[in-house]
Each structure stands twice: as C-alpha cells, then as structure tokens.
Amino acid sequence: MAIYIVRVSTGSFLGVVSWDNISISLLGTEGESLPLKLGNFGKDFNQGVVSKKKSDSDLIPNSLSLQPKSSSLNPDAWFCQELQLISPKNPPLHFPCYQWLEGTESLVLREGADALFLVPNTHPLIFSLSHRHLHVCYKYGAWNGPVIFFPIFIFSVARWSEYFPGLPHCLDAKNLKEKFVFLSNIRKPLELGFLGRLGSNFDVIYLSEYVAEHWQDDEFFASQFLNGLNPVLIQCCHSLPDNFPVTNNMVAPLLGPGTSLQEELEGSLYLVDHSLLSGLSPGLIDGRPQYVAAPMTLLHQKPDGGPLLPIAIQLNQTPGPNNPIFLPSDSEEDWLLAKTWVRNSEFLVHEMVTHLLCTHFISEVFAIATMRQLPMCHPVFKLLIPHFHFTFHINTIGRTDLFKPGGLIDKSTALGHLGCLELVARGMKILTYRSLCLPHNLADRGVQGLANYHYRDDGLQIWDAVERFVSNIIDIYYPEDRSVSQDSELQAWVQEIFMEGFLGQECSGIPTCLETLQDLVQFLTMIIFNSSAQHAAVNSGQRLLGTYPEVHFTEEAPKQSIAAFQSRLVQISQDIQERNKGLDLPYTYLDPLHIENSVAI
C-alpha cells in the first residue's frame, strides 16, 4: 500500500474559494482508487492556499479524477491551479489544471509528462474521460491569471456555431450561462499595465504630429502599404491587370529618364488591389447610401532602393470614362482625394479581412479545436494555450456589439454590418495556408527585394524565433515522423480545424492531417505567429509574446526551450530598437516589447 501526499494549489485572485465538496481519485492501469475528499467543512480552497491530503492506494497513478459535488443550493466555482502527487520513493507527479470546477461532472487530468496518447493502453475510464476537460464549467475570465477586469464566460461544453454564411465557424455563445459580466475595481489599471506606461503617450503625440505633417505626402501614403496597419496587400507587378490600363505616356515622367513602363515591370512596380470590395452593397448612414471604392494603386520604387511612390490610382475595377486613372500630375485636390479614397478602402479591407478574419476569427478556430480535441497534458495544448487568452471574450463581444443592427459598424463604415460580414466571407474564399505562413506569403507576393519593408524584416525574425522554439518543444515529445502521424488526438485536432475553421475547402491548402515533424512545426508556428505577432502588426498589445504565467510544461527540457525563446526575443527587440534610431518614423509594431501573446483586444 503506497501513501501519496496530494498537494492542491488554489488560484491567488478574487472569487476562487468554494463551498463545494471536491473529491479526488487516483487512476492508473489497474483501475481507480476510492475517492478522497479534499478540504474541510465550510469555505475551502482559499486564495493562493496550498493544502495537502494523504491518499492510500495500490495503484501506480498516471491520472487524477476530480469530482465536484455541490454542498449548497447556490453552487460556486473553485479555480484549481495545480495538483501534485508526492511519494517518498518517486519524484513528484505534476497535474497542471488552471481552470474552474463547478457542477457535478468529473474532470480527468493526465500527468504533465504523460503527454501523448498514441495507444489507449490505460484504464478505460481514462480513455473515455481524457478529452472531457471542457465538460467542466470554465470561468474564462480568470483563465488569464490575476486579471480583475474581465468578462466571465461559463459554459458546459464548447460547441461550434455558424455566425454568418462563409465565415469560419465560431464558439456557440448561445450556450453561455453568463455572456458579459465585467468585474472592475482599483486593481484594473494595475493588472492591465497602464500604470507602468505613464509617459508613453509622448510617443503617441510624436506619431500624431508626424502624421499631421506628412499625411498628404506621396511617400508617406506609400509607406503605409509597407509598414502601416495593413502591410500584407502590396505585391510585385510584372504585368498590369487588363482592367487597369495604365500607359507609358501616363507614367513616363514619374519613372525617370532612360526607362519605360515595360522595363519597370521587370521588378520595380508594385500593385495594391482592393478588388475584394467590388460590387458590395453600400450601407446607409443617416438614411443616405454611402460610396465604396474598390481601387487599384500602382507604385514604383527605383532599383537603387529609393522611396516607394504612388504613380497611378483607379478607384474602381471597371475602366471607362466614369472611372479615370488619377495621376500625381493631376490637380492637387484630385490626387489627394484619390489617395483618400484608397485609404478608406484600405481601412475596410484591413479591419474586416487582415485584422478580424486573419487574426481574430482564425485564432478562435484554433482555440476551440485545441480545447475540444486535445487534453491539457498534451504538449500542443500546453504550447498553444497561452496564445488564446481572452480570444473567446473579445470575439463574442465583437460579434454581439459591433455587428448588431444600428451598432458601431453601421454608424461608422460605408458598408454597414451586413456588407462588412460579406467582405469577411469574400476574404475567407481566398484565404490560404500559404498566406498565413509569413515566408510563403512574402514569396508569393514577390516582395523579398522591396526596400524599407520593416514589417517583412522584423516579421521574419519573429517567425524564425517562434519556429525554432516550436521545433525545440516538438523534438522533446515527438522523436520521429511516425509519432506525429500516429497521434490520434493531434490528427483529430487538425481535421477539426480544416472542417470547422476552413469549411472543408481543399483550395485553402490547410492540411487535413499532419504526417511529419516539419508539418507539425510549420502548422504550430503559423498558429502562434498569427495569434501574436501578426495581430500586433495590425492592432496593438496587452501581454508580451513569450510570456508563460501558467506552468503547463512541468518538465525541465521545455522550460529551457522557453527561456531560450525569451532570450532570442530580447535580442530581436534590441536589434529593432537600434535600427529604429535611424528612421524618421520608427517601426515598432513587431518589436517583441509590443507583441501581445494572444488576440485579446
């Protein structure tokens, strides 16, 4: 008969204590031990408290079963941080939890180092319950640690839902018992980090002053396609689209002496095409229909690496007398208005496709599939879970508030909420796996030689750092390609992403299975990059990339990989800051100091 000490750690923030009875059973290949009640009479599991209980068992445990049982008419929840089994003869066994228990359904935790479930060689109870960690009520607000201001989502099981035809499926918010409960107190600014940023508004003032001074300049206009909030549309132009009939006579004075339009098409011309907007029905503001342009912009950069400059703009996709090509040689007012309409279209595509679809909605897909298909001890779950903090919250709030009839989008955009959703659906039709993988995206757009493209340069450094980190973690748990292809949990996970997130569209190139180590590393790198760095490049940040406040990885090897990853990010940040010293307008969006760990805002 072995004696185990059960060490129970409770979260250290508000609302974690519970009146409910919690019992624990040890699970192993031989079966299940008798339940052991944790806690005592009254309010147990106080904030930050570590309590201990003894358990006698002949089992060699590799899993724990937690069994909540309400002790009152008004059941409450308990946030379990971690459990440990301590034996006099063996090293401690770690069972990371980091979730709320409420209700009566059991939660099974597999041991932290017992990560992969290649063959169901354990007790049938473990096999049947290993994926049911979502069948416990989650209070997601506190999932992010000691944050006090948050919505609380409590639900029984994550289900997929279709929000709008053609969009990635999302969390079924109809099952949420509590949609939006916000807790706020004096700790809010502390927890969100505002007090540590006193004085940072001076950078914002400098940026605003720079924009106010240069917003009409062609060079600044063009630079926004490189290092603004939507740096993913510009592509090298080797042949003009048939519906953009720019001639040599139009642009020859802008190209310089001794060259021609045809010669510059060999690698010095770039195109930004907002054709996704063509034909969308405009919305109404104050009862008046709005105008939606679908422009094409031709830009030129001399081979010596001079500034990128716009040389022609057409505001709609069908050429004709009512759709002229605007040139810098036109009147100052006409040229400025043409550029302004381009910026208006850029806003719509940026907000609805680059930002909302390709970071928010896609990250939610990864989060739901991860929490439905992977047990908490799985290395992929541990690797990805920090990058999903608050993604459910912000997306559900956005769908409920921003896209409602008469909401902010109806009041402030030319498309209205229905037109914007249709734009997202159009973006979904052309979204591909390659477009989500930065190195492939850049290669497909032909922008490797484009000068002063800081988004590209900084993004590739971040991609490389994430890829090395992911590779180091994966090598710990997957010794060969076969271990990837035989991981049934992993294969179910990627299949669900393909079917629910990318709607089973084979043209997307999203894999339906992962066969090799390289397949897995690239797929995970893509998820982390788009849930952190890419979102930072097109939005703003809260928790820094590389932050792992919850200890999901309990072994020493992955902890060393995390430390190496964090060190690499520090070096990248220093390199970027040194580069920025020589720029009139520093590019900081992909400085790791400004990259949040998840899509949280």
Measured in degrees and rounded to the nearest 5, phi and psi for residue 314 equal -120, 130
Range list of β-strands (E), 107-265? 107-110, 160-161, 170-171, 235-236
- Token pair belonging to 72: 């009152």
Checking phi first, is residue 83 left (phi over 0); if not, alpha (psi -120 to 50) or beta? Answer: beta
* 451 assigned ligand-binding residue: no
* 316 assigned ligand-binding residue: no
- Token pair belonging to 169: 């499926």
* 77 assigned ligand-binding residue: yes
Measured in degrees and rounded to the nearest 5, phi and psi for residue 529 equal -60, -45
CA distance 109 to 527: 25
What residues have CB less than 8 Å from 45, skipping those under 6 apart?
8, 10, 16, 17, 18, 22, 38, 39, 51, 78, 80
Query: Any idea which residue has 């354990």 for tokens?
Result: 122
* 475 assigned ligand-binding residue: no
- Name beta bridge partners: 108: 65
Alpha carbon distance, N-terminus to C-terminus of the chain: 52
* 76 assigned ligand-binding residue: yes
CA distance 453 to 567: 25
* 169 assigned ligand-binding residue: no
Measured CA to CA in angstroms, residue 436 lies from 102, 359, 432, 522 at distances of: 38, 10, 7, 11
Checking phi first, is residue 34 left (phi over 0); if not, alpha (psi -120 to 50) or beta? Answer: beta
Measured CA to CA in angstroms, residue 567 lies from 455, 561, 592 at distances of: 21, 10, 11
Binding-site residue positions for Fe cation:
355, 360, 535, 601
Binding-site residue positions for Ca(2+):
15, 40, 76-77
Binding-site residue positions:
15, 40, 76-77, 355, 360, 535, 601
